[in-house]
Amino acid sequence: MTNKNKTLAAWLAFAGGQLGIHRLYLHGWRDLLAWLHPLAAALGWWGIQRVRLYGQDDQLAWVLVPLLGFTLAATALTAIYYGLMAPEKWNAKHNPAAAPDSACGKTNWITMAAVILALLFGTIALMSSIVFSFQRYFEYQVEEARKISQQR
């Protein structure tokens, strides 16, 4: 069993989180959640494709596009979690056979760069998803109210 590097795991979560690469790195090929990441991301990208094809009024896209944003935000949060985890806790969880002062769990400036970028892009993805969801919801409510008021 090889030691798992915290910096590499943080960067994989940030850069390849949608594909579940970080989970494959840490937990291996049998990890079910690693295989669900690409599914959620693909559904989100399909939602973006539906918006391009059918416009913003496509109700299925209302659900799928935020799924992409929340997936991006969740993997960014995972990168932040990995990057800020205490070295002792990292080694206890992912490198139990390694020496307590092993360099695999150390936090360095490359790790912190992954944390900072994950914080930046994760916040953008999360806020964009929330804004898109609320905008579409309230526009739908306005349209329904117009339909009701015109029936009288």
Q: How far apart are CA 7 and CA 18, in angstroms?
A: 18
What the block records as the tokens of 17 is 């989180």
Q: How remote is the C-alpha of 66 from its chain's centroid?
A: 11
The whole-model pTM stands at 0.83
**60-113 pLDDT, tens digit each:** 888 898 889 899 999 999 999 999 999 989 988 988 887 766 777 888 999 999
- pLDDT grade for 14, boundaries at 50, 70 and 90: very high
Sign of the torsion formed by the C-alpha atoms of 88, 91, 92 and 94:
positive
**60-75 pLDDT, tens digit each:** 888 898 889 899 999 9
